[in-house]
Amino acid sequence: MIRTLLFVGGVGLIGYAIWSYVNKQKQLAEQFTYNIVSVNFGNISLDNVTANIVVRFTNIADIEALVNSFYVDIYVNNVKVGYAQDNGAFTLAAHSSTDVPVSVDFNPQTIFSNLTSLITASQSLNDVTIGAHGWAQVTSGIVQVTIPIDYDSTVKEIMS
């Protein structure tokens, strides 16, 4: 009888230890931040604009994490203009940052319905809002989590 109780107690203790480990790894994997470092416009024409965006992922945890992939929808002035996706894994060392370049092509006519709004927007480029909403798959140890990405800013804030 005592052996059975010790066995059941031992199995319960091992189960709790595994659950605790997985839960701690999940919490550590979720400890990273991101922000847009720069936005440069490459190819600009009336029907296509290429935006080269550098996103800085920062790991604030004590262990390294692996970002397996991420996907974000890109919004300009609250209008979805495209998406950015990266399926190439990169490592975030503990207490460090990694800059990831992302290229987004979009049709500016989806944002600006006529020439007047295009001229007005180009004169007040600093007031243009940029948003990125999506997810990142992050692995820490044996745990993989999907973390939401929600970022909103203006060109003026990014350029400063």
Check which CATH number belongs to the domain holding 155 and give it.
2.60.40.10
Would you state the pLDDT for residue 126?
Answer: 53
Beta bridge partners of 46: none
- Residue 114's pLDDT band, with cuts at 50, 70 and 90, is very low
Would you state the pLDDT for residue 113?
Answer: 56
CB 95 within 8 A of CB 59: yes
Would you state the pLDDT for residue 143?
Answer: 78
Q: Token digits for 25?
A: 């790894």
Residue 78, amino acid = N
Q: How many domains does the chain have?
A: 1
Q: Token digits for 131?
A: 């948003």
Would you state the pLDDT for residue 117?
Answer: 52
**Range(s) of the domain holding residue 113:** 2-159
More confident residue, 120 or 56: 56
| Mean local confidence (pLDDT), 131-136 | 87
Q: Does residue 160 have a pLDDT over 70? A: no
Residue 68, amino acid = N
Specify the pairing of strand 65-76 against strand 79-86. Answer: antiparallel
